[in-house]
Amino acid sequence: MTVPVTFTTEGAKALTSASLIAGATNRGNIYNNTADFNKVAANVTVSSAIISPATQNLSGNAGAAITPTTPFTPQGLTAPITYSISPALPDGLSINPQSGVVSGTPKNQQDALTYTITASDGSKSATAQVTITIAAGGGGGGGLPDTGTSLAIVGATLGTAMLLYIFALFIFRGRRQLGFLAVNDQVSARMAQLDAMLTRMEDNARRRRNRRR
């Protein structure tokens, strides 16, 4: 191998004299003096690719929209850049392939799990990590209750409504019945008055007959 030699690094890897000499050694030549090292270093091409932020934490509640992750800033990558994630995101979450932003409304609870996001321009790539934690629904995020809880709420509501209806019906009919009884009492009082009047009329007629005799 002859000088100049070109080394290419992927990712944010630091180049030192040791790494350069090791690289040359792997190719069958040992550069162990300053002159040879300078010849190699002068012809090193650094091609590093990174995306920042390198790590992010994402948390939320099942059934509630989460706050999206921060968009990534790529360095050393050429547009167009495509983002992907591994392993697969929880149900309800998705990644924007153009920005790498993770967003959505998770459906289920999940303990903390770290995902790897990869940005690629077709020839170079860089990675970052996102840790996602999903708490159970209802933890301040407006999560939806589970099916059992929903049925219990509906049943209790219907039961209360039925009791109120029966109570109202009882009161309504009771008032009507009381009104009917009141009318009957009035009729009875009038009948008693008529009976007393007829009795007096009969007594008067009897007394008149007795006087004529």
What pLDDT, in 10s, does the model give residues 138-185? 644 444 555 666 666 777 787 788 888 787 777 766 655 555 555 567
Per-residue pLDDT at 188 exceeds 90: no
Per-residue pLDDT at 23 exceeds 60: no
pLDDT given at position 9:
47
pLDDT given at position 178:
57
Q: Report d(CA 211, CA 205) in Å as an integer.
A: 10
- Domains of the chain, by residue range, sit at 1-48, 50-135, 145-213
What contacts 28, CB < 8 A, 6 or more positions away? 1
Percentage with pLDDT > 70 across the chain: 64
Residue 192's closest CA among 204, 200, 178, 177? 200
Which residues in 126-159 are b (16+ Cβ under 10 Å) and which e?
Answer: bebebebebbebbeebebeeeeeeeeeeeeeeee
Q: Report d(CA 16, CA 24) in Å as an integer.
A: 12
Per-residue pLDDT at 95 exceeds 60: yes
77 burial class (0-12, 13-18, 19+ CB within 10 angstroms)? Answer: buried
pLDDT given at position 184:
66
pLDDT given at position 186:
75
pLDDT given at position 10:
45
Statement: 50-135 belongs to CATH 2.60.40.10? yes
Other beta carbons within 10 angstroms of residue 81's beta carbon come to: 21
